[in-house]
Amino acid sequence: MENLILYGVVAILLAFSTQKDKAKTRKALMKGLKALEGILPEFLIVVMIVAVVLAVFDPPTIARLIGSGSSWTGILIASLVGAITLIPGFVAFPAAAELLRNGAGVTQIAAFVSSLMMVGVVTLPLEIRYFGKKASVGRNALAFAFSIVAALFVGWMVAR
């Protein structure tokens, strides 16, 4: 169902774009293809690593570490991992879904996803170059705290 919506929306937009400007649409498709090809090596690496991690950590182990019963420790582990790792969303979402299917808790996965997207420890040096130390460290600290709040909210909403 959700796939259908996705394909439908993109098909309509693509039809509009083609009708308005064929050359631009071709450029858009090439750009999309290039972006997809660009992310492929990273994607394949993460897919393989996640596969091995899931094979080693069986569902009971995952459930214990970041399962719904892991409570605050699990949320903290998940958001710390999210803050440190640098994985694009296209790679992270399927991995997160796979973790959910294997016993991870919704709140913990939301903490991981939120801090992954908003906090960037690895990219901090880059951020500091543009925003200075104070603003960058401040933004990341606030985003880290907020990602835990967001996770609690998402966990609560999904459980309702």
Partner 1 sequence: MKLNGFLKKYRATLVVAVIFVGFLVLSPSKAARAEKSLVDQLKTMLLVMPPIFVLLGLLDVWVPRETLIRYMGKGSGLKGTALGIVLGAVAAGPLYGAFPVAAVLMDKGASFMNVLVFIGAWSTLKIPMFLFEIQSLGARFAVARFLIDVPGIFLIAFILSKVLTAGDIERIYAASHNAK
Judge whether 134 and 98 are in contact, CB under 8 Å.
no
35 lines the binding site for partner 1 (CB under 8 A): yes
What residues between 64 and 83 interact with partner 1 by CB under 8 A?
none
Q: How far apart are CA 76 and CA 38, in angstroms?
A: 32
Give min distance, CB of 77 to partner 1, in A. 19
Task: At 123, list the tokens.
Answer: 């990219």
Minimum Å gap between C-beta 95 and partner 1 is: 7
Options 66, 75, 78, 96; binder of partner 1; rule CB under 8 A: 96
Q: CB nearer to partner 1: give 38 or 69.
A: 38
3-class state of residue 68 by DSSP? helix
Q: Judge contact between 105 and 70, C-beta under 8 A.
A: yes
- Decide if residue 15 touches partner 1 (CB under 8 A): no
Stretch that binds partner 1, among 64-72, 76-84, 92-100 (CB under 8 A): 92-100
Q: Is 134 in the site for partner 1 (CB under 8 A)?
A: yes
**Angle formed by the axes of helices 71-84 and 106-118, nearest 10°:** 30
